[in-house]
A and B are shown apart, each in its own frame.
Chain A
Amino acid sequence: MDFTTHIRPTCSRLLFLCAGSALMLPAMSALAASDETGFSTTEPASMLPRGESGYSYLRLSGSTFHPFDSTGEYSYRSSGCIYGTGGEYRFVRGLILPEGAILDSIRFFYYDNSSSAYLSAYFTTYDGSGNFAQTNIGNSSADGYGFIERRINLKNDENVGPMNLTVAFNGDRGSDVAFCGVRVRYTIEISDVIFANGFE
């Protein structure tokens, strides 16, 4: 998907937003790196420091995700983890953050005890016109309980469409590969309330 086609109309109206969008383009191009069913490799997951001040966190249990369509069958493993058992293999949830929040990073928790099957995780935005931009967060590895994460650095503003968190169960489905949840790290910008009414 060409994400710039989504940004351009706004830029034509407000020049200063163009500059801001240009700064966002590296992040946007990262989003456009793969398609919705692709399983491309990703950069190594980084270990983010624990609880840095200024960050907010949103946690979602794997058991609150649902399949893309009604053919998706799944079971509950334990500890908030679900695993696919047949049909649709992708599971999804909308990510709702405050307007203006900067999505810093996403961590997907999993259980993987399979030599062949694995879990893939994605962050996706949509433009409502059939286009989407996707970031491949990574694939699980057969190390039991683990996580994969990636920095996103995306501001939730008028240039960003609906955000989704998606996982895909690849290979034979069963309790050996389960999805356990997500932790989203974000910041909220302090608005300039003194000059909010334009009296500066």
Chain B
Amino acid sequence: MFRTLLTLAVPTLGLLLAGSALAAESGSYPPALPGMSDITFDHHPGPDLEAAIGPRLFITAAALHRRDTNTTVSYNRGGCVTSSGTLTTDLALPAGATILGMRTFYFNDGSGGDVMSAITRYTGQNAVTDLLSTSFPAGTGYTSVYNELPIPETVNEYDYAYVLNARGSGSTQICAMLVLYQMH
């Protein structure tokens, strides 16, 4: 009997501890990038910093892949990379979701370069639209900036493929992109 209770109690205690850890982490937003909890980001204001405005999709830059093989990529830390060309990945959102904006996380050590990020859609038939295209000049330290789409985009995968494109050049690293969207 005691052994049975102990068997049940240990995992339950583990779950409770894990739950409290999650609760503590959920209090900070945006979440710390992996391996970078010791670094302070300068988060510029944006609606995504407000509580419960909508779901978000968070993608680290290290998960993007180069759009051509002439591009070279260097990994720094915490998911941050620099690249000589454009990096890309799918923007996979539920059908009917409305894309509102994107927060770009980047780092610069003050020695030049810039970072670019974009939400782009393609028809596959020679039509391309940058729903949002951002460029940030060299600065100092870790920064995140929110940009709103000029026109909110309702996801329509019958007609379009959606991707995130990004590039960090010189000493400016692209670290992550966080897409804010809304379900109806």
Contact = CB atoms under 8 A, between A and B. Distances in A.
| A pairs with B | yes
B90 A64 contact: yes
Interface stretch (A32-40, A68-76, A116-124, A129-137): A68-76
B88 A63 contact: yes
A80 B69 contact: no
Interface of B is mostly: loop
Interface residues of A, number: 31
Interface string A54-85: 00111111111010000011111011111001
A57 B69 contact: no
Nearest to B88: A63
Given A56-B95, A64-B88, A72-B69, A79 B161 contact: no
B127 interface: yes
A145 B157 contact: no
Interface string B89-106: 110000100000000000
Among A57, A62, A80, A85, which residue has the most Cβ atoms of chain B within 10 A? A80
A85 B89 CA distance: 21
Among A58, A61, A75, which residue has the most Cβ atoms of chain B within 10 A? A61
B162 interface: yes
A62 B128 CA distance: 13
B165 to A, nearest CB: 8
Nearest to B159: A59
Interface string B151-167: 00000011011110000
B69 A74 contact: yes
Contacts of B7: none
Contacts of B68: 74-76, 82
Contacts of B160: 59
Interface of A: 50-51, 56-64, 66, 72-76, 78-82, 85, 109, 111, 145, 147, 180-183
6 contacts: A59-B157, A78-B126, A79-B122, A79-B125, A145-B126, A180-B122
